[in-house]
Chains A and B, each alone.
Chain A
Amino acid sequence: MSSKPDPRDDTAASQGDAAVLARHTELGYAGQPVLSGLEFEIPTGTRVGVLGPNGGGKTTLFRALLGELTPLGGTLEVNSTTATVAQTDRSRLDYPVSALDVAVMGTLGRLPWWRRPGRRERKRALGALEKVGLADLAGSTFGDLSGGQRQRVLIARALTADAEMLLMDEPFTGLDNKSEARLETLIDELSSSGHTVLIATHEVEQASRWDLVLCLNKTQISFGDPAVALSKPVLEATYGGHIVEIPGQPDLGVLPAHHHHDH
Chain B
Amino acid sequence: MFEAFSLPFFQKGLIEILILAIPAGLIGSWVVLRSLAFFSHAIGTASFPGLVLADGIGFSPALGAFGAAGFFAGLTALLGRSRRASNDSVTALVLVGCLAFGVILASDVFGSTASVDTLLFGSLLSIGTSDILLAAAAAVLAVATTVLLGHRWLARGFDETAASRVGAGAAWLDAVLLLTVAVTVTASLNAVGALLVTVLIVVPAATVRLFAQRITTQLVASVLLVAVLGSFGLWLSYQTDAPPGATIAVVSGITFGLALGVRSLGRRGGRIAAATALVLGAGVIAGCGGSGSNGDQLKVVATTTQVGDFVEQIGGDRVEVTTILQPNTDPHDYEPRPSDVKAVADADLVFRSGGHLDEWANDIVADSGSGAEVVDLSSGLPVQLEGEEEHEHAHEEEAAHSSESEAGHSHEGEAKPAEEEGHEHGDEVDPHWWHDPVNVIAATKEIDTALSEASPDNASYFSERTASFDKEARELDRQIAACVKQVPASERKIVTDHDAFGYFTNRYEIESVGTVIPALTTQAEPSAGDLADLEQTIKEENVKAIFPESSVSPALAEAVAEDTGASTSYTLYADTLGPEGSNGETWMSMMKANTDSLMLGMTGGQTDCFGTVG
Which residues of A are in contact with B by a Cβ distance under 8 Å? 1, 66, 68, 82-84, 86, 90-92, 94-98, 101-102, 104-111, 113-114, 116-117, 141, 154, 157-158, 161, 163
Q: When chains A and B are docked, how far (Å) is the Cα of A96 from the Cα of B162?
A: 17
Q: Provide the residues of chain A in CB contact with B63, threshold 8 Å.
A: none
Residue of A83, A98, A157 near B214 (CB, 8 A) is A98
Q: Provide the residues of chain A in CB contact with B166, threshold 8 Å.
A: 83, 105-109, 157, 161
A86-B159, A116-B148 known; A68 vs B154 contact (CB < 8 Å) = no
Which residue, of B149, B157, B167, has the highest number of chain A Cβ atoms within 10 A? B167
Query: Which of chain A's residues has its CB closest to B208's CB?
Result: A96
Is the CB of B555 closer than 8 A to any CB of chain A? no
Q: Provide the residues of chain A in CB contact with B152, threshold 8 Å.
A: 108, 113
Query: What are 22 pairs between A and B in contact, CB < 8 Å?
Result: A82-B165, A83-B165, A84-B161, A84-B165, A86-B159, A91-B159, A96-B213, A96-B217, A97-B214, A101-B214, A101-B215, A105-B151, A105-B163, A105-B168, A106-B166, A109-B166, A111-B167, A113-B170, A116-B147, A117-B151, A141-B213, A157-B166
Min CB–CB distance B25 → chain A (angstroms): 14
Q: When chains A and B are docked, how far (Å) is the Cα of A92 from the Cα of B164?
A: 16
Docked-complex contact B151 and A116, CB < 8 angstroms: yes
Docked-complex contact A92 and B167, CB < 8 angstroms: no
Q: When chains A and B are docked, how far (Å) is the Cα of A1 from the Cα of B166?
A: 8
Docked-complex contact A161 and B158, CB < 8 angstroms: no
Residue of B150, B157, B159, B167 near A109 (CB, 8 A) is B167
Contact code string B219-231 (vs A, CB < 8 Å = 1, else 0): 0000000000000
Please name 8 further chain A to chain B contacts, defined as beta carbons within 8 Å, in addition to the given A92-B157, A96-B33, A105-B155, sorted by A numbering. A1-B169, A66-B164, A83-B162, A86-B162, A92-B159, A105-B163, A107-B166, A116-B151
Q: Provide the residues of chain B in CB contact with A68, threshold 8 Å.
A: 161, 164
Which residue, of B168, B170, B213, B218, has the highest number of chain A Cβ atoms within 10 A? B213
Q: Provide the residues of chain B in CB contact with A1, threshold 8 Å.
A: 164-165, 167, 169
Docked-complex contact A108 and B165, CB < 8 angstroms: no
Contact code string B151-189 (vs A, CB < 8 Å = 1, else 0): 110110111011111111110000000000000000000
Q: When chains A and B are docked, how far (Å) is the Cα of A96 from the Cα of B33?
A: 9
Docked-complex contact A96 and B148, CB < 8 angstroms: no
Q: Provide the residues of chain A in CB contact with B147, threshold 8 Å.
A: 116
Q: When chains A and B are docked, how far (Å) is the Cα of A101 from the Cα of B159?
A: 13
| Interface size class, chain B | 20 to 34
Q: Provide the residues of chain A in CB contact with B161, threshold 8 Å.
A: 66, 68, 84, 86
Q: Provide the residues of chain B in CB contact with A109, threshold 8 Å.
A: 165-168
A116-B148, A157-B166 known; A94 vs B158 contact (CB < 8 Å) = no
Q: When chains A and B are docked, how far (Å) is the Cα of A86 from the Cα of B147?
A: 28
Docked-complex contact B215 and A108, CB < 8 angstroms: no
Query: Across the A-B interface, how many residue pairs have beta carbons closer than 8 Å?
Result: 89
Is the CB of B209 closer than 8 A to any CB of chain A? yes
Min CB–CB distance A54 → chain B (angstroms): 19
Is the CB of B212 closer than 8 A to any CB of chain A? yes
Q: When chains A and B are docked, how far (Å) is the Cα of A106 from the Cα of B167?
A: 8
Docked-complex contact B209 and A105, CB < 8 angstroms: no
Min CB–CB distance A4 → chain B (angstroms): 10
Query: Which of chain B's residues has its CB closest to A112's CB?
Result: B167
Q: Provide the residues of chain B in CB contact with A98, threshold 8 Å.
A: 213-214
Docked-complex contact B154 and A97, CB < 8 angstroms: yes
Docked-complex contact A163 and B165, CB < 8 angstroms: yes
Q: Provide the residues of chain B in CB contact with A107, threshold 8 Å.
A: 166
Docked-complex contact B209 and A96, CB < 8 angstroms: yes
Q: Provide the residues of chain B in CB contact with A101, threshold 8 Å.
A: 154, 214-215
Query: Which of chain B's residues has its CB closest to A109's CB?
Result: B167
Q: When chains A and B are docked, how far (Å) is the Cα of A84 from the Cα of B161?
A: 8
Q: When chains A and B are docked, how far (Å) is the Cα of A1 from the Cα of B215?
A: 25
Q: When chains A and B are docked, how far (Å) is the Cα of A158 from the Cα of B158?
A: 14
Q: When chains A and B are docked, how far (Å) is the Cα of A205 from the Cα of B222?
A: 50
Docked-complex contact A102 and B167, CB < 8 angstroms: no
Q: Provide the residues of chain B in CB contact with A163, threshold 8 Å.
A: 165
Q: When chains A and B are docked, how far (Å) is the Cα of A84 from the Cα of B218?
A: 28
Q: Provide the residues of chain A in CB contact with B169, threshold 8 Å.
A: 1
Q: Provide the residues of chain B in CB contact with A114, threshold 8 Å.
A: 148
Which residue, of B33, B157, B166, B209, has the highest number of chain A Cβ atoms within 10 A? B166
Docked-complex contact B154 and A105, CB < 8 angstroms: yes
Q: Provide the residues of chain B in CB contact with A113, threshold 8 Å.
A: 148-149, 152, 170
Min CB–CB distance A118 → chain B (angstroms): 11
Closest 9 CB pairs of A and B: A109-B167, A105-B155, A96-B212, A141-B213, A109-B166, A96-B218, A108-B167, A83-B165, A108-B168
Residue of A66, A94, A97 near B165 (CB, 8 A) is A66
Query: Which of chain A's residues has its CB closest to B150's CB?
Result: A116
Query: Which of chain B's residues has its CB closest to A144's CB?
Result: B213
Query: Which of chain B's residues has its CB closest to A114's CB?
Result: B148
A98-B214, A101-B214, A108-B151 known; A92 vs B209 contact (CB < 8 Å) = no
Q: When chains A and B are docked, how far (Å) is the Cα of A163 from the Cα of B165?
A: 9
Query: Which of chain B's residues has its CB closest to A92's CB?
Result: B158
Q: Provide the residues of chain B in CB contact with A161, threshold 8 Å.
A: 165-167
Q: When chains A and B are docked, how far (Å) is the Cα of A34 from the Cα of B33?
A: 34
Which residue, of B151, B157, B169, has the highest number of chain A Cβ atoms within 10 A? B151
Docked-complex contact B158 and A105, CB < 8 angstroms: yes
Q: When chains A and B are docked, how far (Å) is the Cα of A92 from the Cα of B34?
A: 11
Query: Which of chain A's residues has its CB closest to B216's CB?
Result: A96
Q: When chains A and B are docked, how far (Å) is the Cα of A97 from the Cα of B209?
A: 12
A111-B167, A157-B166 known; A96 vs B214 contact (CB < 8 Å) = yes
Q: When chains A and B are docked, how far (Å) is the Cα of A62 from the Cα of B161?
A: 11
Q: When chains A and B are docked, how far (Å) is the Cα of A113 from the Cα of B167?
A: 9
Docked-complex contact B157 and A95, CB < 8 angstroms: yes
Q: When chains A and B are docked, how far (Å) is the Cα of A220 from the Cα of B491?
A: 90
Min CB–CB distance A18 → chain B (angstroms): 21
Query: Which of chain B's residues has its CB closest to A169's CB?
Result: B161
Docked-complex contact A96 and B167, CB < 8 angstroms: no
Min CB–CB distance B158 → chain A (angstroms): 6
Query: Which of chain A's residues has its CB closest to B167's CB?
Result: A109
Min CB–CB distance B518 → chain A (angstroms): 50
Min CB–CB distance B154 → chain A (angstroms): 7
A106-B166, A108-B168, A111-B167 known; A91 vs B218 contact (CB < 8 Å) = no
Query: Which of chain B's residues has its CB closest to A142's CB?
Result: B158
Q: Provide the residues of chain A in CB contact with B217, threshold 8 Å.
A: 96
Min CB–CB distance B239 → chain A (angstroms): 35
Min CB–CB distance A109 → chain B (angstroms): 3
Q: Provide the residues of chain B in CB contact with A116, threshold 8 Å.
A: 147-148, 150-151
Q: When chains A and B are docked, how far (Å) is the Cα of A117 from the Cα of B147?
A: 11
A1-B164, A66-B165, A161-B166 known; A102 vs B158 contact (CB < 8 Å) = yes
A91-B158, A91-B159, A105-B155 known; A97 vs B215 contact (CB < 8 Å) = yes
Q: When chains A and B are docked, how far (Å) is the Cα of A91 from the Cα of B212?
A: 17
Min CB–CB distance A169 → chain B (angstroms): 10
Docked-complex contact A94 and B209, CB < 8 angstroms: yes
Query: Which of chain B's residues has its CB closest to A1's CB?
Result: B167
Query: Which of chain B's residues has its CB closest to A104's CB?
Result: B151
Query: Which of chain B's residues has its CB closest to A117's CB?
Result: B151
Q: When chains A and B are docked, how far (Å) is the Cα of A84 from the Cα of B159?
A: 11
Which residue, of B33, B149, B155, has the highest number of chain A Cβ atoms within 10 A? B155
Contact code string B29-45 (vs A, CB < 8 Å = 1, else 0): 00001000000000000
Q: When chains A and B are docked, how far (Å) is the Cα of A161 from the Cα of B163?
A: 11
Q: Provide the residues of chain A in CB contact with B167, threshold 8 Å.
A: 1, 108-111, 161
